[in-house]
Structure 1
Amino acid sequence: MANNRWRQALRAWRQGVEALPVRAFWGLSGWLGPERGGQFGGWLFARFGPWSDRQSIILANLKAAFPTLDRRATAKLAGEIWRNAGIVMAEYPHLSAIADPKGGRIEVVLHSAFRPDRPSVFAGPHLASWEVPALGPIRNGIKMTAVYAPMANPRIDYWLHRWRQAIGATLVPRDGSLRVLLRELRQGGSIGLVMDGRTGGGVPVDFFGMQRSVSPGPAYLALKSGAQLTTMTVERLGPARYRLTIDAPIEADMSLANDQERIVAMMCEVNRRFEAYVRAQPGRWFCMKRAWPKWSMAAAAHAPEVADRLSGAPPSIPA
């Protein structure tokens, strides 16, 4: 019992120490205001981010997605990605100001085929700012529930959760959220998911010409609830100013044999759109985790037999 209390106290102390520089960063960016705070965060991350161990992952993702870029252009693009990440981090204390309709910081564009009167599943990538997309539906009178991944450090998670509440969406932790989300959709609400990362055991999709597995969640929820599935993208128009674009709904192909095939087809279209969104503004793509498995990246860069020799690679890559 005493040992458990000691470990808990030590863990709390470590979490407090870890949170100090983060809180100092947010304190300074909050004091500077939305515009200058974002510029400060962008400068800081662009200056020191490339020295972190995430730099190699960013470079690998960029080389895979944009193989025609030379080393200098790839490094420059990586710097832009770090700058964008810093801006997003520095804008957390200002989410209430960004979300305020009186501030005129958010522009929303709706595709003509999108129906605001129907429950919707909104899927978006980590692009520009992944904290503001829910404002698009909310500005159009849509009740939103947004899924988020809690931070490991509870102090940092507390601040993030408090600032995210300014957006106006109901926040639901990612783990164990499936039933909650289905219930929300069936009751007429809509949900937002930032789900552009690869997962193990998901559905196979093509992304920049390479295969990866992604969560079937958006398509599954839409099919099971009868909601419309669509995608969103975010563009930064200037300091703390954004354009949110809601794309056309992705319809289920009822000519396919079953829901599993429909889910795969719908998620393939989701990822096709995500690729187009990233190509439009690659310097604002938050790609600090590997976007593809190693065997898939090797197969795209070299001969298939090279990928087959890698650990965990399948004997062939499905078309």
Structure 2
Amino acid sequence: MTAPPEETRPVTRLMRIEALAARGALALLRRLGPVRASNAGGALCRAIGPRLPVSRVADANLRLAMPDLDAPARRAIIRAVWDNLGRTVGEFPHLPALPENPASGPGWDVVGAEHLAAQVARGGPVIFMSGHIGNWEMLPPGVARHGLPFASFYRAAGNPLVDGMIRALREAAMGPAAGGAPVPMFAKGARGARGALAHIARGGRLGMLIDQKMNDGIEATLFGHPAMTAPALAAMALRYRCPVIPGYVERLGPARLRIHVEPPLALPDSGDRQADILALTQAVNDRLEQWVRARPGTWLWLHRRWPRSAYTPRS
């Protein structure tokens, strides 16, 4: 998995200290094993996360998106969000070794594997869509092990030393499933979008997490409120008429994960390109909302997803 060229960033003394701490944390997580590492990450984040200011963003999001929840219910969800995030970090270095279809204990399985098999048989370009749900880091290696390694978008960490560690962990998670060939990663932004479009045009496979705000996106709705959403997925899928396969990761327990793969979304074809892009973008948001409503404690509510005006009470 090769990251896009980045501007050379000077490595400062603080960055080296951060990298040393990160290496130590990774070494500890590896020694703990997948279950204890998941439990430790979850416990640490449960204890600290709800006290951080960013948890107020999560509370505001929940008030907006799920207004029927009372304060104790929102607090429980926020605590679960931090628990899931901590477990996701704790499990990260163990993903390459997690077995598929274990009889018990840590590992992962796939529901809807027939949709992956159908895409393998069909061949050609495909876009996998998901969100920051459960342990989303399991999606690329899990799908790759079913014969469909896919490219993805990439935002480099601010510390290049830590960034290198993250990329190495992702490469290790893919392992031999990628067939030894590098899997492209595209920088977020206009340049990366052009690279991803060319990749799809060549018959490539692309994965996209579609649940973050994009200020210069298009206005679709999410949980009944306007939400600026990136139109790139819809634009690429409609231009090349390639399948859009939804999927997400359900957490069953410590380092025990289930990948849900759903049938491809219907591609609109009204003859009005902009209307079709909006319709497919809305379908993507609707599918995300369905997943989140089913398991609200496993979605990353910590970023401000809606415009600021949506959070302002109306008189």
- Give the drift of 1:171: 4.3
CA contact (8 A) 2:141 2:149 kept: no
Residue 127 of structure 1 is aligned with which of 130, 133, 152?
A: 133
Determine the structure 1 residue equivalent to 2:5: none
- Give the deviation of 1:60 after TM superposition: 1.1
Q: Which residue of structure 2 lines up, in the alignment, with residue 275 of structure 1?
A: 289
CA distance in 2 between partners of 1:82 and 1:180 (Å):
34
In structure 1, the residue matched to 2:232 is 217
Q: Which has the higher contact order (CA 8 A, sep 6+)?
A: 2
Alignment map for 1:149-160 (pairs within 5 Å): 149-160=155-166
Corresponding position: 1:240 with 2:255: yes
State the AA in 2 paired with 1:200: N
1:174-231 CA distances to partner (integer Å, 9 max, x unpaired)? 3322233223223332111112111112111111111111101111121223311122
Alignment pair present for 1:44 and 2:44:
yes
Shift of 1:148: 2.3
Superposition deviation, residue 121 in structure 1 = 0.5
Aligned to 2:219: 204
- 1:68 corresponds in structure 2 to 68
1:315 maps to which residue? none
Alpha carbons of 1:73 and 1:41: their partners in 2 closer, same or farther (altered >3 Å)? same
Residue 284 of structure 1 pairs with residue 304 of structure 2: no
For 2:32, the equivalent position in structure 1 comes to: 32
> AA paired with 1:157?
D
SS, match of residue 233 in structure 1: strand
| 1:294 and 2:308 correspond | yes
Normalised TM-score (structure 2): 0.85
Q: Which runs of 5+ in 2 are unaligned?
A: 1-8
How big is the shift at 1:47? Answer: 0.5
- 2:186 corresponds in structure 1 to 173
Q: 2:109 aligns with which of 96, 107, 110?
A: 107
Confirm or deny: 8 A CA contact 2:241 2:267 kept in the other structure: no
Which SS does the other structure have where 1:272 is aligned? helix
Cα contact 2:109–2:258 (8 A) shared by 1: yes
2:172 aligned partner, one-letter code: A
Question: Does the 8 A contact of 1:136 with 1:246 survive in 2?
Answer: no
Shift, 1:139, TM fit: 3.1
3-state DSSP of counterpart to 1:82 = helix
Aligned sequence identity (%): 30
Instruction: Give, in whole Å, the separation in 1 of the partners of 2:114 and 2:102.
Output: 26
User: Displacement of 1:113 after TM fit?
Assistant: 6.6
Q: CA deviation at 1:107?
A: 1.2
1:184 aligned residue: 199
Q: Please say if residues 151 and 207 of structure 2, whose CA atoms lie closer than 8 Å, have aligned partners that are also in contact.
A: yes
Check the 8 A contact 1:136/1:245 in 2, yes or no: no
Q: Report the equivalent of 1:309.
A: none
Which stretches of structure 1, 4 residues or longer, exceed 4 Å deviation after superposition?
100-104, 111-114
Q: CA deviation at 1:23?
A: 3.4
What SS does structure 1 have at the residue aligned with 2:12? helix
The CA RMSD over aligned residues, in Å, is 2.2
TM-score, with length taken from structure 1: 0.84
Query: Could you say which residue in structure 1 is the equivalent of 2:6?
Result: none
**Which deviates further from its counterpart, 81-90 or 288-297?**
288-297
Letter in 2 for 1:127: I
Alpha-carbon contact 2:100-2:109 (below 8 Å) kept: no
SS at match of 1:173: strand
Which residue is 1:313 aligned to?
Answer: none
- Per-residue deviation at 1:106? 2.1
Segments of 5+ residues of structure 1 without an aligned counterpart are 1-7, 307-319
Does the 8 Å CA contact 1:229/1:250 hold for their aligned counterparts?
yes
**8 Å contact 1:234–1:242 — kept in the other structure?**
yes
The Cα shift of 1:279 comes to 0.9
Query: Could you tell me whether the CA contact under 8 Å between 2:101 and 2:109 is conserved in 1?
Result: no
Q: Give the drift of 1:68.
A: 1.4
**Based on CA coordinates, which of the two structures has the bigger radius of gyration?**
1
Structure 1 segment 11-22 matched on structure 2, within 5 A: 12-22=12-22
Name the counterpart of 2:3: none
Q: Shift in Å at residue 79 of structure 1?
A: 0.7
Does the 8 Å CA contact 1:41/1:90 hold for their aligned counterparts? yes
Paired amino acid for 1:72 = P
